[in-house]
Amino acid sequence: MTAPAPDASAPDLENVVMAARHVAKSYGAVKALKGVNFDIHRGQVTTLFGENGAGKSTLMKILSGVIQPSSGEIIFEGQPVTLQSTIDAQALGISIIHQELSLAPNLNVRDNIFLGREISGPSGVDFAEEDRQTRRLMAELQEDIDPRTPVEHLRLGQQQLVEIARALSVNSRVLIMDEPTSALSASEVDVLFKVIRDLTARGVSIVYISHHLEEALQITDHAVVLRDGAMTAYAPRADIDLEWIVRHMVGKNFNLGSPPTGHTMGSAALSIRELTVVDSHSGQNVVDGLSLDVASGEVVCIYGLMGAGRTELMECVAGRLRPASGHVLLHGRPVDGLTIAQRIRAGLALVPEDRQRDGLVQTMSVGRNLSLASISDFTRGFLTQLSAERRIITRTIKDVTVKTDGPDAAIGSLSGGNQQKVVIGKMLATGPSVLLLDEPSRGIDIGAKAEVFGLLADRAKTGLAVLFSTSEVSECLSIAHRIIVMRRGRIVAEFTHDATKEQIMAASGESLVA
């Protein structure tokens, strides 16, 4: 390490505009942040690096008043401050551009930019003045968008720029940008970087978060690396390179298991042939003529950045999305045209990415969530057999080791990891021969991750074909026999378990200039 980490001492008042000291945040049993010290340098760009779930977004939400830390303090210009809400943060000149856009799609660009801060004139809102300021902001961003255009008519990248314009319009002193370039084209990124340099020249301090490492290296003045909720490294730009970031980001492997061995792999359980999925909004191919085989007993990992098409691929194979062309075969038999229910009965099950939105029924108990996908297995004639259901639930709770007060407990009473086990257990209870898991480790702690991967490895030994996706490179090198790298809907590389993290990340486009 080339520079000492910011320690517990008071921040350097001259160079640090805002700082976090010993900031921790827990969600139930999950520690998202474990006592982080973080300095935002005055008039410079400080970039926060880290894998998904490392705690970057949590830290940014704390600094912008969206959530409150469980412990620790925030220091602004040398004074400890309490940010109860985003309004408190805005009063201090701190604003944030969220990763997920927070625009009202039905309102136009101008109304979005001035939402909640409308300029009053003698007769109501001074729309002319708002229009003028919006035009000026758009000119600054070199984007020719009419202030009266409804936001829903804009491309995603343009919407991102509107979001940035809104943050610029409040004359922020500290501007937090969480993945601002994920939807931008290369030329838009250039413009954004020019704007960032203008802002820093004017004394605005920027916190920057990006998965595109080299892109971030172009713009940043300081680098801070988070891993598993703790800060692992800190250095000014001059002292670091790409290799330094990757080394500190992924760290030593927490043992997430190794590919299961000692069983023979069967023939192809799942075959994907030239599959193409078209996004209904943009009309682009989100999955582009992709072919892939997964054998019985094999574990295959799909790695890719956000928007690489992993989710669409899985949802299409599971029957939720219709393919534009191509075929899906299960044990050599085509399943095209089958409904989700028919595919589940045929042995093809999906554990979706977002368990709150797609995995769990919050109004039902743990037990009823577990038995939801196998209702037909305990229905005789018209009637559900409650004792048979109970057997399935008890067995599944034991199989996937859900920690719960019992089958009748509310699903919301479980931790994230146990909720995820319920979703996985629900699909395993259907007795699948192919299991798809879209980001099964999302939002669960490292211990639960290891348990989930152990469970999948055990099932693979008994012949289950497992295809899981991840955006954390360290998870690729756990139980997977093969690692497939997806980018823009295509397979761009394939690795075995011997690959290095750097190879995988390079193939995904993560470390390349956008």
Partner 1 sequence: MSDTLSTATKPPQNPLWNAILTALDLLLRGRAFFALIAIIITFSILSPRYFTLGNMLIMTNHVAIFGLLAIGMLLVILNGGIDLSVGSTLALSGVFAGFLMQGVELTGLGVVLYFPVWAVVLMTLALGGFVGAVNGVLIAFLKVPAFVATLGTLYVARGVALLMTNGLTFNNLSGRAEYGNTGFDWLGFNRIAGVPVGVYVMFTVAIAVTFLLMRTSFGRWLYASGGNMRAAELSGVPVKRVQISVYVLSGMCAAIAGLVLSSQLTSAGPTAGNTYELTAIAAVVIGGAALTGGRGTVLGTLLGAFVIGFLSNGLVIIGVSSYWQTVFTGAVIVLSVLLNSIQYGRPGSRS
Which residues make up the interface to partner 1 (CB under 8 A)?
Answer: 26-30, 70, 318, 320, 339-341, 344-345, 350, 352, 356-364, 368, 372-373, 375-376, 379, 382-384, 386, 410, 412-416, 426-427, 430
Q: Which is nearer to partner 1, 104 or 341 (CB)?
A: 341
Residues 270 and 198: their CA atoms lie apart, in Å, by 52
Residues 206 and 220: their CA atoms lie apart, in Å, by 9
Least distance between partner 1 and beta carbon 343 (Å): 8
Q: Which is nearer to partner 1, 26 or 394 (CB)?
A: 26
* Count of CB atoms situated within 10 Å of the CB of 106: 10
Angle at 188 between CA 187 and CA 189, to 5 degrees: 90
Least distance between partner 1 and beta carbon 484 (Å): 23
Fill in the DSSP letter of residue 152: G
At 147, list the tokens: 């202030």
Alpha-carbon torsion angle 215, 218, 222, 228, nearest 10: 10
Q: Which is nearer to partner 1, 6 or 319 (CB)?
A: 319
Q: Which is nearer to partner 1, 44 or 430 (CB)?
A: 430
**Which has the closest alpha carbon to 290: 509, 469, 491?**
491
Q: Which is nearer to partner 1, 263 or 322 (CB)?
A: 322
- Which residue type does 470 have? T
Q: Which is nearer to partner 1, 360 or 435 (CB)?
A: 360
Residues 35 and 22: their CA atoms lie apart, in Å, by 4
Least distance between partner 1 and beta carbon 391 (Å): 16
Q: Which is nearer to partner 1, 328 or 457 (CB)?
A: 328
Specify burial of residue 28 (Cβ count, 10 A radius: 0-12, 13-18, 19+). exposed
Residues 489 and 481: their CA atoms lie apart, in Å, by 22
Least distance between partner 1 and beta carbon 417 (Å): 11
Least distance between partner 1 and beta carbon 373 (Å): 4
Least distance between partner 1 and beta carbon 341 (Å): 4
Q: How many Å separate Cα 328 from the centre of its chain?
A: 27
Helix axes 501-508, 242-250, angle to 10 degrees: 110
Least distance between partner 1 and beta carbon 321 (Å): 12
- Residue 417 C-beta-side C-alpha neighbours within 13 Å: 20
